[in-house]
């Protein structure tokens, strides 16, 4: 019989219950016991949702991040939080966000906070993890309490539990040595703690443990390959069966290594790495389980089950009971339940599958494989009808858009003059001081903004009333920026629900869910648009709002847009055509908006490409192909303007030192980046690469409630000036300010402006 299991379930709740519980606790509106109780309720509900599986993941729930959970399990806490006393969950939040709760620290001391842990993207997803911190002296000490408590809850509920942990090699590889020491030198200290953890799980009656090692789908040098062999040979006698789980891509040259690790089972991504499966069968020892990730855990389209069964049935015949099936990766990356959706039309909804529907697809596959297709006849017929409907729908294909992409030329992506000439023209027009100050785009999404948006969507506020409410908030943002003394202003984005969703709602070819929320980090959730068809822009999307904001000030007002690569990477995208083709369609649509802003008199236009790097393939050998079309898409979007128009772009929380030449190739006049959490480490790239244009290294970590001091900002900017000429430096936060409150933003920006003035004076 084929075995079914899942690698992980969305933790935020179908209605974002975890988000609201976390934020209530951080604001001091609820207690720690109430937050823990909510976590237990969500876990219980999610295990019920997965009750039909043969094995159910336990330990995939986290209050903030699974990598941070693993750091606490391994006793790997940054030194700056080791002196705190009180509940470990409070200490956990100090690492995650710099402070446990708002205002007063729950351990009893004042809430000044500590430096939050660095945050970056989880492989090529939009999920962010807290980066483990190491040094040559790092020691590990097991704290298995979190996992054992969740295991006890699951056993009490009758769950057939499969604990989930991050594997030791991936854990080391994704961390950072703060003293530049060798992370692999820590492996001999780390493995005994893993062995102790596995022994404790075995003592609780655990049969299988899922050990996530997605590092195996990346290019590994000999030392890291050896680390895998060393690690699992040391853990092979741990008393439980280990299922090493890989995902997000194919194994390729790591196939033999993965197949021959001394473990009981191997999970591979058979969506993104199907070509691995047949050769893998010839390498896999005959006693070992092979788990195939056959349902896409990162996208929301229905699986073509009949076609998949055509491929799976011969594998079942060959493997028998050794065949397990599952989603390709954790379902953390998709929304919870399509059944909650009332906004999507019936036809489009029939094409989709969220987490619960993906688990149902898995059940249908298992029934067909174990009992025969006749036992799943009705479900398979309904699935086939939906797949066929999408394939031929005229809603998906627009010949005019396809013709426009076919007619693209390189000239569309070229500015009229080189940067040096443009910079002189822009300087004469904008008359900005040295170290010009700006923000990234958004200001706090206040209760008033959220209430007005809710009333408008419910039909209780008409279009004129909504417009007036948003104009009041825009006017407030402009007034506050004038008072602060910022040099280049933004309108604050009061009217925008999300930097991608806002644009997608106004583009043909997109659809939107009501409850399609996905965790980005901590309590931050996004609702990715559904890119189902060819993309076009029916009318201007932002011009009216920016023109109004510019009318309120004599200072330059930035037009704010999201770039095509980011819209693509933060959407659920089509799987029936290359991503590059969809990206070029988006580029042409956003280009029209850029030109309309310029015609409206906007002289500074920011086109955010926050997600450029996360779209990189996991293997460097494939980077060039992606970067070629991604950079060209940005250039098509941005470069139709005159020399006088200054183009900005923004990137956040991405390790992009190794693609700095491609970023320079985008030819934006100004780029703003995150550098505050990494203490300007991202600027190391400029030691070896002379970046040709202007740059704003973010000096205010907006993902933490901590308020940066003027001295700290000056220190960061002086570090930046060691690598980049001061004449080309801007001063700005590292990201938009929508998640912060005005009472945090005003003092932080006051210090930022004061630091810029001090730098000018010096």
> Which sequence positions are flagged as catalytic?
703
Q: Is 674 annotated as a binding residue?
A: yes
The 10 Å CB-count burial string (b at 16+, else e) for 348-372 is bbbbbbbbbbbbebbebbbbbbeee
The secondary structure of residue 492, as a DSSP letter, is B
Q: Is 300 annotated as a binding residue?
A: no
Residue 647 in contact with residue 637, Cβ under 8 Å? no
Select from 698, 623, 700, 703 the least CA-distant residue to 663: 623
Quote the CA–CA distance of 483 and 486 in Å, as a whole number.
Answer: 8
Q: Is 160 annotated as a binding residue?
A: no
Q: Is 712 annotated as a binding residue?
A: no
Q: Is 180 annotated as a binding residue?
A: no
Quote the CA–CA distance of 165 and 556 in Å, as a whole number.
Answer: 50
Block residue for tokens 């192909």: 625
Q: Which two tokens stand for residue 401?
A: 């858009």
Q: Is 110 annotated as a binding residue?
A: no
Quote the CA–CA distance of 356 and 691 in Å, as a whole number.
Answer: 47
Residue 715 in contact with residue 676, Cβ under 8 Å? no
Q: Is 535 annotated as a binding residue?
A: no
Would you tell me the crossing angle of helices 32-49 and 88-97 to the nearest 10 degrees?
80
Q: Is 18 annotated as a binding residue?
A: yes
Q: Which two tokens stand for residue 46?
A: 């999610």
How far, CA to CA in Å, does 462 sit from each of 453, 454, 542, 599? 11, 11, 19, 29
Q: Is 482 annotated as a binding residue?
A: no
Select from 656, 678, 676, 675 the least CA-distant residue to 666: 656
| Strand ranges in 438-589 using DSSP code E only, listed in sequence order | 508-511, 518-521, 524-526, 530-536, 558-562
Q: Is 316 annotated as a binding residue?
A: no
The separation between CA 439 and the C-alpha centre of its own chain, rounded to angstroms, equals 22
CA-CA-CA-CA dihedral for 308, 314, 318, 319, to nearest 10: 10
Q: Is 126 annotated as a binding residue?
A: yes
Quote the CA–CA distance of 683 and 663 in Å, as a whole number.
Answer: 13
Q: Is 523 annotated as a binding residue?
A: no
Q: Which two tokens stand for residue 149?
A: 């408590």
Q: Is 16 annotated as a binding residue?
A: yes
DSSP secondary structure of 653-703: S---GGGHHHHHHT--SEEEE--TTTTTGGGGGGGT----SEEEEB-S-TT
Residue 44, classed as helix, strand or coil, is helix
Quote the CA–CA distance of 305 and 418 in Å, as a whole number.
Answer: 53
Q: Is 442 annotated as a binding residue?
A: yes
128 phi and psi, to 5 degrees?
A: -105, 140
Cβ neighbours, 10 Å, residue 406:
9
> What Rg do the C-alpha atoms of the chain give, in angstroms?
26
Quote the CA–CA distance of 694 and 726 in Å, as a whole number.
Answer: 10
741 CB-near residues (< 8 Å, 6+ apart): 444
H or E element in which residue 4 lies: strand 3-4
Q: Is 657 annotated as a binding residue?
A: no
3-state helix, strand, coil in the chain (%, to 5): 45, 15, 40
Quote the CA–CA distance of 233 and 596 in Å, as a whole number.
Answer: 62
Residue 227 in contact with residue 194, Cβ under 8 Å? no
* DSSP H helical ranges for 372-500: 377-392, 399-406, 419-430, 447-457, 463-484
Q: Is 544 annotated as a binding residue?
A: no
How many residues are recorded in the chain?
762
Q: Is 42 annotated as a binding residue?
A: no
Quote the CA–CA distance of 8 and 720 in Å, as a whole number.
Answer: 41
Select from 255, 16, 62, 296 the least CA-distant residue to 166: 62
519 phi and psi, to 5 degrees?
A: -70, 130
The separation between CA 295 and the C-alpha centre of its own chain, rounded to angstroms, equals 20
Annotated binding site: 16-19, 121, 126, 440-442, 493, 524-525, 570, 608, 614, 650, 652, 674, 735
Annotated binding site for L-homocysteine: 440-442, 493, 608
Annotated binding site for Zn(2+): 650, 652, 674, 735
Annotated binding site for 5-methyltetrahydropteroyltri-L-glutamate: 16-19, 121, 126, 524-525, 570, 614
């Amino acid at each position: 019989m084929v075995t079914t299991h899942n690698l992980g379930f969305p933790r935020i709740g179908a209605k974002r219950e975890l988000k609201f519980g976390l934020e209530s606790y951080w604001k001091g509106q609820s207690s720690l016991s109430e937050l823990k109780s909510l976590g237990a309720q969500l876990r219980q509900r999610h295990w019920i949702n997965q009750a039909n599986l043969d094995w159910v993941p336990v330990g995939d729930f986290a209050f903030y991040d699974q990598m941070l959970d693993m750091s606490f399990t391994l006793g790997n806490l940054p030194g700056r939080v080791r002196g705190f006393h009180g509940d470990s969950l409070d200490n956990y939040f100090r690492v995650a966000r710099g402070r446990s709760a708002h205002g007063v620290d729950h351990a009893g001391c004042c809430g000044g906070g500590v430096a939050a842990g660095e945050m970056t993207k989880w492989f090529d997803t939009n999920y962010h993890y807290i980066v483990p911190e190491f040094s040559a002296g790092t020691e590990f000490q097991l704290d298995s309490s979190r996992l054992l408590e969740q295991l006890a809850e699951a056993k009490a509920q009758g769950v057939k539990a499969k604990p989930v942990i991050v594997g030791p090699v991936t854990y080391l590889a994704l961390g950072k040595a703060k003293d530049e020491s060798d992370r692999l030198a820590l492996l001999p200290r780390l493995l005994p703690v893993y062995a102790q953890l596995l022994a404790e799980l075995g003592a609780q009656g655990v049969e299988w443990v899922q050990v996530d090692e997605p590092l195996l789908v990346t290019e590994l040098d000999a030392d890291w390959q050896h680390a895998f062999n060393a690690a699992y040979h040391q853990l092979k006698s741990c008393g439980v069966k280990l299922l090493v789980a890989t995902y997000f891509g194919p194994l390729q040259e790591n196939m033999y290594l993965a197949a021959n690790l001394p473990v009981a089972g191997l999970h591979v991504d058979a969506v993104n790495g199907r070509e691995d499966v047949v050769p893998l069968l010839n390498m896999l020892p005959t006693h070992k389980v092979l788990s195939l990730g056959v349902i896409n855990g990162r996208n929301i389209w229905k699986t073509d089950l009949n076609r998949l069964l055509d491929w799976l049935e011969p594998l079942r015949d060959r493997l028998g009971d050794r065949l397990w099936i599952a989603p390709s990766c954790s379902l953390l990356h998709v929304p919870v339940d399509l059944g909650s959706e009332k906004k999507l039309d019936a036809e489009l909804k029939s094409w989709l599958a969220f987490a619960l529907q993906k688990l149902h697809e898995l059940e249908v596959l298992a029934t067909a494989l174990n009992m025969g297709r006749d036992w799943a006849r009705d479900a398979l017929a309904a699935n086939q009808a939906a797949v066929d409907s999408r394939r031929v729908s005229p809603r998906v294909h627009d010949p005019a858009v396809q013709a426009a992409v076919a007619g693209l030329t390189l000239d569309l992506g070229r500015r009229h003059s080189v940067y040096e000439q443009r910079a002189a023209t822009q300087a004469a027009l904008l008359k900005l001081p040295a170290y010009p100050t700006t923000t990234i785009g958004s200001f706090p999404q206040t209760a008033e903004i959220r209430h007005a948006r809710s009333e408008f969507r419910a039909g209780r506020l008409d279009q004129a009333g909504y417009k007036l409410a948003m104009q009041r908030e825009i006017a407030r943002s402009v007034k506050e920026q004038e008072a602060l003394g910022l040099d280049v202003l933004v309108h604050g984005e009061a009217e925008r629900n999300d930097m991608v969703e806002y644009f997608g709602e106004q583009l043909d070819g997109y659809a939107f869910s009501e409850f399609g929320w996905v965790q980005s980090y901590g309590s931050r959730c996004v609702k990715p648009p559904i890119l189902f068809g060819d993309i076009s822009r029916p009318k201007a999307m932002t011009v009216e709002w920016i023109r109004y904001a510019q009318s309120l000030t004599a200072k330059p007002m930035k037009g704010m847009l999201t770039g095509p690569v980011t819209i693509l990477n933060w959407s659920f995208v089509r799987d029936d055509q290359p991503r590059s083709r969809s990206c070029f369609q988006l580029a042409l649509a956003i280009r029209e908006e850029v030109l309309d802003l310029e015609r409206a008199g906007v002289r500074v236009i920011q086109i955010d490409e926050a997600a450029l790097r996360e779209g990189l393939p996991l293997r460097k050998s494939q980077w060039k192909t992606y970067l070629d079309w991604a950079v060209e898409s940005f250039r098509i979007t941005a470069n139709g303007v005159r020399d006088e128009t200054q183009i900005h772009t923004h990137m956040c929380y991405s390790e992009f030192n190794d693609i700095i030449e491609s970023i320079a190739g985008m030819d934006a006049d100004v780029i703003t980046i995150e550098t505050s959490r990494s203490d300007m480490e991202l600027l190391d790239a400029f030691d070896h690469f002379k970046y040709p244009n202007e740059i704003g290294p973010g000096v205010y970590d907006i993902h933490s409630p901590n308020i940066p001091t003027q001295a700290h900002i000056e220190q960061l900017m002086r570090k930046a000036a060691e690598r980049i000429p001061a004449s080309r430096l801007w001063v700005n936060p590292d990201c938009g300010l929508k998640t912060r409150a005005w009472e945090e933003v005003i003092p932080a920006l006051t210090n930022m402006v004061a630091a810029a003035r001090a730098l000018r004076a010096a």
